[in-house]
Structure 1
Amino acid sequence: MHTPISRRTVLRASGVALSLPLLDVMNPVFGFERAEQPKRMVLICNALGLYPPSLFPKTPGNDYESTEYLELLKEHRSDFTLFSGLSHPDQNGKEPHDTEMTFLTAAINPGLGGFKNTVSVDQVAAMHLGHTTRFPSITLGSNTRESQSYNSNGVMLPADNRPSRVFAKLFLAGSPEEQRRQRQRLADGRSILDAVGDQTKTLNQRVSGGDRKQLDEYFAAIRTAEKELAESEAWLDRPKPEVKVEVPKDIVESSELLGRIRALMNLIPLMLQTDSTRVISLMIQADHGVPNIPGVQGEHHPLSHHGQDPSKIAQLKIIESGILAEFSDLLTQLGQRSEHGERLLDETAVLFGSNLGNANAHDPTNLPIILAGGGYKHGRYVAHDKKRNTPLCDLFVTLLQRMGVEADSFATSNGALAIT
């Protein structure tokens, strides 16, 4: 009989703390069965879409014929489902690319007067999981700090766009002085919250009943923040996982589009393997100038508005093929089996899509959506009505339910999308 040990057990020596990998004996059932693997979610958006004629087959089903773009993913055919006819309703905004703000939220009429964004689907999952992991979520951007992740107040969460900084946050312990400063910040936050809470009684004596209700809600939010701060501090005492890879180097030139995407995508398996987070979003942004890719002379954004010019379309397809090749490499990494025969991909739902179905016309309908992994039955092309699209949020509901969120709806959904 084996005595169970904590999965947080570390080997310690002078100045060294070495994390152990997940072992059978760490399972509470005496090591005879492996513990259930956590569910994970990765959401990737290519903000300038994908050229539809090169992506979508002519007929749906399991026996769909391959296309120019799907050939790049052919080794993963049994691990993904391609969808068409999905979109968010009422996406006519102030500017043609304002739908970048709403890909993960589905808030209507982005950018128009009075518009306020809503919570994104990744943050709903992150709030459900809380500090189960060191980071409830990680938000990445290929060039700038702009992201598609929004908190419950509709405020954008800035993206990490430097792989070296992401790596340091995930895996480098930091100096004792840095840890002391972080503890002090957390302590200051709690003392401020406590000070505000001490004034509740006095304030309640001076305000109306309606104001007291509002104050009660406010202080309830403060107490939630206190709990989150305490949970964050608890992670300071736990050694960060060790990984046998070199610290990634930042690519300074924004024109190195594929290299920047690759550097960020290479971090995703590490995040999941070490259970540093279970919710990741990545925005492949529109502004990279002229990509440094052989055969491409124009900027990505103008090329997406090709006006049916064959030369521009040819260059656009070179760029998009490169992006899909990087996505294929990510699926390859996630699909590698461990010594126990498990694959990260089987427990990780990976959505790759765009806020634009036809970038040439700024059309936010009939979005290109690929869902890989997650334990779903794949190997199909599912075509929904191109004229009366199914809400993409139906798929979001399905993904949230898989993450353990008790949700029957999200934003503009009509319910969950059956994909098994």
Structure 2
Amino acid sequence: MSNKIDRPARRTTRIAALPRRAFLRGTGVALGLPMLDAMTPAFSRSAHAANSESEQPPQRMLAVCNNLGLLPPNFFPKSEGLNYEPSPYLEILREHKSDFTVLSGVSHPDVDGGHPADNCFLTAAPHPGSGGFKNTISLDQYAAEYIGHKTRVPSLTLGVNSAEGRRSLSWTGAGVLIPCEQRPSVVYRELFLQGSRKEIREQIRRLRQGQSIMDAVAEQARDLRGSLGARDRNRIDQYQTAVRELEQRLHAAEAWENRPKPQIEFSMPLDPEDPSEYMEKVALMYQMAKLAFETDSSRLVTLLLDSVNSPAIEIDGESIGAGYHNLSHHGKSEEKLAKLRAIDEAHMRQLGALYSDLAAIEEDGERLLDRTMVLYGSNLGDANRHVTTNLPILFAGGGFRHQGHLAFDRDRNYPLPNLFVSMLQRMGIETDRFASSTGTMSGLDFRS
């Protein structure tokens, strides 16, 4: 490759130095976009969804990550296939055995770094612990760009004891963290409590103000364009595209403001205040997800169970007596392992209750569970050693032909993002790739 500089071309291109203050005047409003609820996805791809609602029933997704995982010997079955013998943890879910598939030998290629990997559970962005790491779009937000406009709330990002501003399963296309909502009462209000006419008018005013701000930002960005070099012009073009997408989201949000919210019999929950009430919080967040799906208020929910950030939690009203994170580094201590087993079994009971709740609800002659994909797993295969391979994964519902135990190579793991591609296709989104996928999930097909 020649190192010669093309000096004539260089002379004909005059790029004036752009003072930082001028740039901030032109694009500084972008720093305030989260205040305009820009953390929810734009609807730019909604027109390109593969199937309309009239062509297929609505499909939902709940993705749950417990960032301290589960004790592997108690989770993974020793046999494979449909007739596998359930492990101690899966024995708790035996009545739902035909409704889920347990995966072993799966992971995200190149996602390492131990605890930081929880931020990549739904993105599969590589090397989250490295300097300069930048995340990518999460599975739920990718889907929301296609189907988010179909519901009042495009997606719900929930958390239990999540470290605010540092941990989330949901990330925008620009790799920006979407904060977890940790108060069930706030979720309930957003989904079901109708504001007064005055409050609705005020919200619409704020939305329109947001649209006017977007117009101003786009105009200022256009003014800047002529004084920038090629790379910066490309960045401005990308920025203007993002502004247009946000304007579309704001228009859609305004339309929803004038529609009445669903009426339900479930009362607004009280928010547990103590982090030790971890399991109670999990149960309430599962309840909020179920209600969102049942009323078709949202079809995409993520839930981060930030066990790393949890203290000595309570199981059946009794304190476990040690911090959750400390227990995960058990060093094969029988006392710690016994306490971890009690926690893991409580998780399985909560999950079983969720499966039962979704299976008990009927929608157009089908169980809601058959229209809801429930992904439960962890970014850690072994929290004791911070291993990010051989992840414990349960995948339930969604109208799939479940295969019992799908066992892949424990040494050369199968890419978990392949499951994400299958999930996207199940939601009617035409794609054959997501992150580091190599195709759809092998051995797991839709029911006819």
For the criterion TM > 0.5, the same-fold answer is yes
Does structure 1 retain, via aligned residues, the 8 Å contact 2:375–2:393?
yes
CA distances 1:87-107 after superposition (whole Å, capped 9, x unpaired): 0122332xx311111111111
Q: Could you say which residue in structure 2 is the equivalent of 1:70? A: 90
Q: Could you say which residue in structure 2 is the equivalent of 1:47? A: 67
Q: CA deviation at 1:213?
A: 4.4
Distance (Å, rounded) in 1 between the aligned partners of 2:321 and 2:65: 24
Distance (Å, rounded) in 2 between the aligned partners of 1:153 and 1:183: 27
Amino acid at match of 1:128: Y
Match of 1:158 among 161, 170, 179: 179
Greater mean deviation of Cα atoms: 200-209 or 158-167: 200-209
Residues 1:224 and 1:255: Cα distance change in structure 2 (over 3 Å): same
5+ residue gaps, structure 1: 1-33
Q: Could you say which residue in structure 2 is the equivalent of 1:106? A: 124
Q: Secondary structure at the match of 2:92?
A: helix
Q: Could you say which residue in structure 2 is the equivalent of 1:129? A: 147
Q: Which residues of 2 match residues 16-415 of structure 1 at below 5 A?
A: 36-93=56-113, 96-144=114-162, 145=164, 146-199=167-220, 202-207=223-228, 211-286=232-307, 287-293=309-315, 294=318, 296-338=320-362, 341-415=365-439
Q: Secondary structure at the match of 1:407?
A: coil
Distance (Å, rounded) in 1 between the aligned partners of 2:145 and 2:112: 29
Q: CA deviation at 1:40?
A: 1.0
Greater mean deviation of Cα atoms: 137-146 or 249-258: 137-146
Does structure 2 retain, via aligned residues, the 8 Å contact 1:76–1:331?
yes
Does structure 1 retain, via aligned residues, the 8 Å contact 2:69–2:380?
yes
What's the Cα RMSD here? 1.8
Does structure 2 retain, via aligned residues, the 8 Å contact 1:100–1:355?
yes
Q: CA deviation at 1:363?
A: 0.7
Q: Secondary structure at the match of 2:247?
A: helix
Does structure 1 retain, via aligned residues, the 8 Å contact 2:152–2:298?
yes
Q: CA deviation at 1:379?
A: 4.9
Distance (Å, rounded) in 2 between the aligned partners of 1:323 and 1:355: 16
Q: CA deviation at 1:345?
A: 0.7
Does structure 1 retain, via aligned residues, the 8 Å contact 2:78–2:87?
no
Distance (Å, rounded) in 2 between the aligned partners of 1:169 and 1:393: 31
Q: Secondary structure at the match of 1:139?
A: strand
Amino acid at match of 1:254: P
Distance (Å, rounded) in 2 between the aligned partners of 1:45 and 1:298: 21
Amino acid at match of 1:134: R
Distance (Å, rounded) in 2 between the aligned partners of 1:116 and 1:205: 29
Greater mean deviation of Cα atoms: 289-298 or 358-367: 289-298
Residues 1:66 and 1:216: Cα distance change in structure 2 (over 3 Å): closer
CA distances 1:366-385 after superposition (whole Å, capped 9, x unpaired): 00000000111125101100
Q: Secondary structure at the match of 1:191?
A: helix
Distance (Å, rounded) in 2 between the aligned partners of 1:203 and 1:179: 36
Distance (Å, rounded) in 1 between the aligned partners of 2:225 and 2:336: 65
Residues 1:73 and 1:196: Cα distance change in structure 2 (over 3 Å): same
TM-score (normalised: structure 1)? 0.87
Distance (Å, rounded) in 2 between the aligned partners of 1:258 and 1:176: 37
Q: CA deviation at 1:177?
A: 3.3
Q: CA deviation at 1:278?
A: 0.6
Distance (Å, rounded) in 1 between the aligned partners of 2:289 and 2:384: 31
Greater mean deviation of Cα atoms: 405-414 or 215-224: 215-224
Does structure 2 retain, via aligned residues, the 8 Å contact 1:295–1:318?
no
Q: CA deviation at 1:219?
A: 2.1
Percent sequence identity over matched residues? 45
Residues 1:141 and 1:211: Cα distance change in structure 2 (over 3 Å): closer
Q: Secondary structure at the match of 2:362?
A: coil
Q: Secondary structure at the match of 2:238?
A: helix
Q: Secondary structure at the match of 1:228?
A: helix
Number of residue equivalences: 385
Distance (Å, rounded) in 2 between the aligned partners of 1:275 and 1:43: 17
Does structure 2 retain, via aligned residues, the 8 Å contact 1:101–1:148?
yes
Amino acid at match of 1:106: A
CA distances 1:99-139 after superposition (whole Å, capped 9, x unpaired): 11111111111131111111111111111113111111101
Q: Secondary structure at the match of 2:360?
A: coil
Distance (Å, rounded) in 2 between the aligned partners of 1:187 and 1:404: 32
Amino acid at match of 1:98: P
5+ residue gaps, structure 2: 1-53
Q: CA deviation at 1:85?
A: 0.4
Amino acid at match of 1:415: G
Does structure 2 retain, via aligned residues, the 8 Å contact 1:77–1:379?
no
Amino acid at match of 1:141: G
Q: Secondary structure at the match of 2:376?
A: strand
TM-score (normalised: structure 2)? 0.82
